[in-house]
Structure 1
Amino acid sequence: MSLGIVMLVHDALDRAEQLVRHWSTHGCPVVVHVDAHVTQEDFSNFTGALSDLSNVRFCRRRHCKWGTWSLVAASQTASEAMLETFPDVQHVLLASGSCLPLRPISEMRSYLNNRPQTDFIESVTTEDVPWTIGGLDIERFTLRFPFSWKRQRRLFDAYVSIQRRLGVKRDIPDGLIPHLGSQWWCLTRATLSAILNDPLRSANDRYFRQVWIPDESYYQTLARRHSSRIESRSLTLSKFDFQGKPHVFYDDHLQLLRRSDCFVARKAWRYAGKLYDSFLSEQPSVMTGAEPNPGKIDRIFTKAIERRTKGRPGLYMPSRFPRPGHEGNMTAARYTVLEGFTELFEGFDEWLTSTVNARVHGHLFAEDKVHFAGGVQDFFGALTDSASLRDYNPKAFLTNLIWNTRGERQCFQYGPRDNQDLSWDIAKDSNARIYVVSGAWAVPLFQSNRNFSDIRGEAARLQRIESEHLTALRSSYARARTQIWSLADFVLNPSEVLQSVVEDIGPQKTGALTSLPKMKPLQGFGQFLQDLKNQGMHPYLMGDFPARHDLVPTTRISRKPYLVK
């Protein structure tokens, strides 16, 4: 007996009963917390239906509300009962009544037995997460939230505004570094016991009662204090839309869920009979030994959100009616912006110069100077390589360069280490052709010999800068033609990407590509990213780099990258 399940149930008791029975009959003790909003009659019927299972317990019930302390309190009560009643349990998984196991329970138990001291909980600092909105990142830990965000939205917003104007702030307890993450964790017995038996628990609980959405921060923060080894990821697949609402999985998601290799998925629709019948069956697994890999399906969800929020080109409707711009083109001719390529390839500028009929510059907006093609100090239009003169008006510098070289295609490199004052300008310029390999800035950090704590801080800084830049490229105001690949997608098929870049820039000197620039070695890069996660930094722009093995480039034709226009 190595795995115990703490389950929070509030509706769909028929499906919850089916899930409890599945966990229980496969050797996992279950402690169930049933929301006190469930009627006594339904609760009695539910407990009676499971009375034949000797390893199922029910804990004291609480009234639970979204985003409040009640959810943490419910998980505490159930976890205490689990640790007290089942001494053989070494890992405890928090699940809901709609969390559907995707793989045989024996595989999950074996996976955890091979990692007896590892806690699986997404836990990253507020500066490193992309999902905090409305300014409530660190403020969720320093302000008070007595009103419900869902049911009392006006009072919630007004009270937050008053606290901001008055400068009211709560003190974060000494020794606590706020972390955020998915509420669906799997902790070792030692870590969970340490959290629940912490001598400062009463003070910790009192503080987190006033934190906004504490179920996404309580265990995530305290695990950092008590855990000896954290894998900053959840074993439960949970996806959210652009409004922060969880995706619901239906019958037509069956193959999608199988491809994820994850152990558990949240949340399955209660009437998705095909999902429950397939995953709760006794059929032998076809994924034995596979590492959980939700990144396999991330692109599908990304494209779904893109379709929902951006719509389709030329399709107008009240929910997505665009706000037209009133300005003309910023520049006089087309030009190409390449982001992440020099970080990935050795001698990329020289290779591209020999391949296309275009002027290929280095980083025109680098911190030290302007890197013109050929390393010249002066360029057409009396432009110099002085960074101070360029930064006096970066927009005018670019428009001058394009104007003075009309008839010759200009290409230059750009990245998060460069001057970012031009980020929105090139995003709104319809003459810009922008190619981005997101997260490529991490390769020089990976190959550096710097202290890892310095690397983590620099990685967080560069990721924030690139994330803001990508926001500009994807905004409704952007008019540039942009193609974006995550670093993981690019590495798998670089030849096709380079071919499309070369074809878009203009006529080639030698026809079809016959050679490619030399890619810098990336052996161990996936583990480098996992180490960043384990240190509390969330590198989400690189795509999915498995920690256990390296990605191998292939000549397979990949799907077209999405366009942001």
Structure 2
Amino acid sequence: MLTKHGDKIAIHVDKSAAPAVWSQIVEELGDDPNVAFCDRVKCGWGEWSLVLATLNALKMARSKWPDATHFYFISGDCMPTKPRAYIARYLEENDKDFVEHNDFYESDWIKTGIKEDRLRYRHYFNERTRKALFYGALKLQRALGMERSTPKGLTIYIGSQWCVLRRSTVDKVLALTASRKDIPRFFATTWIPDETYFQSLVMHVVPREQVENRTLTFLAFSDYGLPLVFHDDQYDLVRTQPHLFTRKVSENALSLRERLRDLFSQDFDRMVTADTAGALFEYVTRRGRVGGRYTERFWERGGKIGRGNEMLVVVCKKYHVGKRFMNAARRAGGPMAHGYVFDEDAGALPALGGIETSTPKRGRHRRAVLRMLLEYHDAERLMICLDPSNIDALRDIRDDQCNLRVMELRTDIDDDYLLGHAKRAGLLPDEARLEDCMPLIRTLDRQFRDDSNALRDLNLAHFYTLNLHDSADLAGEQIARFLDIPFKNGREMAVAEMPFN
């Protein structure tokens, strides 16, 4: 869409993407003279790799197209919201860099998580994938007094990573990066440096009056950090905002995407705009109906976990065993995890617009809940626990386009456990004795066995089982395959945690 109208695109494709993805992109776009591919980096959320990938793209674009006037940072889910003629005129008439920059220490731009410690200490581990090591290393540095100072003469600013830079500014930033090795070295161990690197360097090399403190890409977040995703019924909203692009446009918003493509191809360069999104968002959320200005509650329209996302489901009747396995799996390198999301109310969930408030509500919108949890964590993998009797929830997940892995934990279920289960479920009074209720106990025992058989009848492609007394090698292999981690890590987890009971 963009190169068709003469724009140039320098593309970075995450090195961790599947080889087929890279091959398809090169096959589709490799012959376009307006497309260039930069050196690939394996990226991790919050890591220096995101800045390095952006620098690689800038260097490629700067060398291949020396006459380019502006360098606009976009992602794969961005779309233009104005005609190309409008965008060209706007940039020509506003001879500035557009970089959101807020004082790192004085502003309240960071809503959750660590703040000063992002800079004060070195971060070698990813908080999302290796949480224990991340916080362990941070705690150790605090204890040893290993604080560091920022690069000499550099004031740290923070803001959105979606910048628009003039050619002269790009040249200055790249020159500073090359001449001051201490600067990239500092940010390489800073947590979430894509929110501080360009923001700080641009303000260091460009006079303040030449930098507009805002982004030209329309993006919005809820109070709990969940990004707003735009859908077909929000064309007028994104079109009339005073921005040139928007993110995140839903992959399912086919009509919105088509209308924005058509708008971009138009040749008029004047439009009436109004910065109304903030007030509108506050209005609809105050009413308690997210998206209520346009339609019914957003989860009632149906949700999908989504192609490319992966669900890991731990199935276990004993809830404390399932949660213990889940927590051990997280420590072994597994994904973000929540407990028995569809079976109990005790587990803490982030605010998801009200859908998280009760088990029945979550049960009516299972895939929407899981999709929102993935988006909340900005993750592509998520692990939950599930009661074996909740086979409908597993069928619902299986019927989505996501990848599904299931681990069944088979524990000892004796008569005493069945008696306790019957009392907890309200099937028997607390004073009931085992010898007085054996018919019910036998019925529950058959039900539990039937639940396990129903799980096997799903014929899942990635189904794994742990028995109570499996050997470390057998258990380690099952754990490693389920979590998609090295066998060594799976075996270490088995040795440390088996038997699960």
2:276 aligns with one of 296, 316, 324:
296
Q: How does 1:65-464 map to 2 (within 5 A)?
A: 65-116=44-95, 118-134=96-112, 136-198=114-176, 199-228=178-207, 229-281=210-262, 288-290=269-271, 293=274, 295-303=275-283, 307=288, 317=357
Aligned to 1:61: 40
* CA distance in 1 between partners of 2:356 and 2:217 (Å): 37
8 Å CA contact 2:99–2:211 kept in 1: the answer is yes
* CA distance in 2 between partners of 1:67 and 1:142 (Å): 16
Task: Render the CA deviation track for 1:352-406: whole Å, top value 9, x for unaligned.
Answer: xxxxxxxxxxxxxxxxxxxxxxxxxxxxxxxxxxxxxxxxxxxxxxxxxxxxxxx
Q: Secondary structure at the match of 1:60?
A: coil
Aligned to 1:516: none
Q: Secondary structure at the match of 2:10?
A: strand
The offset of 1:206, in angstroms, is 0.5
Q: Secondary structure at the match of 1:34?
A: coil
Aligned to 1:488: none
Task: Render the CA deviation track for 1:434-469: whole Å, top value 9, x for unaligned.
Answer: xxxxxxxxxxxxxxxxxxxxxxxxxxxxxxxxxxxx
Q: 1:60 to 1:121 in 2, by over 3 A?
A: same
The offset of 1:157, in angstroms, is 3.1
8 Å CA contact 1:26–1:106 kept in 2: the answer is no
The offset of 1:53, in angstroms, is 2.2
8 Å CA contact 1:29–1:55 kept in 2: the answer is yes
Q: Secondary structure at the match of 1:41?
A: helix
Gaps of 5+ in 2: 291-350, 360-501
* CA distance in 2 between partners of 1:304 and 1:152 (Å): 37
Q: 1:109 to 1:74 in 2, by over 3 A?
A: same
Query: What number of residue pairs does the alignment pair up?
Result: 294
More deviation in 121-130 or 215-224? 121-130
Q: 1:114 to 1:134 in 2, by over 3 A?
A: closer
8 Å CA contact 1:141–1:178 kept in 2: the answer is no
Q: Secondary structure at the match of 1:38?
A: coil
Q: Secondary structure at the match of 2:71?
A: strand
Task: Render the CA deviation track for 1:36-75: whole Å, top value 9, x for unaligned.
Answer: 1223333222122123422111111111111101110011
8 Å CA contact 1:124–1:181 kept in 2: the answer is yes
Q: Secondary structure at the match of 1:57?
A: strand
The offset of 1:153, in angstroms, is 2.5
* CA distance in 2 between partners of 1:270 and 1:260 (Å): 21
Task: Render the CA deviation track for 1:321-340: whole Å, top value 9, x for unaligned.
Answer: xxxxxxxxxxxxxxxxxxxx
Task: Render the CA deviation track for 1:406-436: whole Å, top value 9, x for unaligned.
Answer: xxxxxxxxxxxxxxxxxxxxxxxxxxxxxxx
* CA distance in 2 between partners of 1:64 and 1:249 (Å): 25
* CA distance in 2 between partners of 1:262 and 1:300 (Å): 16
The offset of 1:163, in angstroms, is 3.3
8 Å CA contact 1:261–1:287 kept in 2: the answer is no
Q: 1:212 to 1:54 in 2, by over 3 A?
A: same
* CA distance in 2 between partners of 1:291 and 1:119 (Å): 23
* CA distance in 2 between partners of 1:85 and 1:296 (Å): 39
State, as a whole percentage, how many aligned pairs show the same letter. Answer: 30
Matched, 1:24 2:3: yes
* CA distance in 2 between partners of 1:310 and 1:271 (Å): 20
* CA distance in 1 between partners of 2:89 and 2:352 (Å): 43
8 Å CA contact 1:125–1:179 kept in 2: the answer is yes
8 Å CA contact 2:11–2:36 kept in 1: the answer is yes
More deviation in 267-276 or 45-54? 45-54
Q: Secondary structure at the match of 2:262?
A: coil
Q: Secondary structure at the match of 1:170?
A: coil
8 Å CA contact 1:259–1:297 kept in 2: the answer is no
Matched, 1:38 2:17: yes
Aligned to 1:436: none
Task: Render the CA deviation track for 1:129-166: whole Å, top value 9, x for unaligned.
Answer: 33314563332111122221212233333433443344
Q: 1:177 to 1:275 in 2, by over 3 A?
A: same
The offset of 1:176, in angstroms, is 0.6
The offset of 1:287, in angstroms, is 8.4
8 Å CA contact 2:82–2:263 kept in 1: the answer is no
The offset of 1:280, in angstroms, is 0.4
* CA distance in 2 between partners of 1:142 and 1:316 (Å): 36
Aligned to 1:531: none
* CA distance in 2 between partners of 1:310 and 1:81 (Å): 40
The one-letter amino acid of 1:233's match is R
Gaps of 5+ in 1: 1-21, 320-565
* CA distance in 2 between partners of 1:59 and 1:316 (Å): 42
The one-letter amino acid of 2:107's match is V
Query: Which structure shows the bigger proportion of residues in helix conformation?
Result: 2
8 Å CA contact 1:241–1:305 kept in 2: the answer is no
* CA distance in 2 between partners of 1:35 and 1:305 (Å): 35
The offset of 1:254, in angstroms, is 1.9
* CA distance in 1 between partners of 2:353 and 2:249 (Å): 26
Q: Secondary structure at the match of 1:31?
A: strand
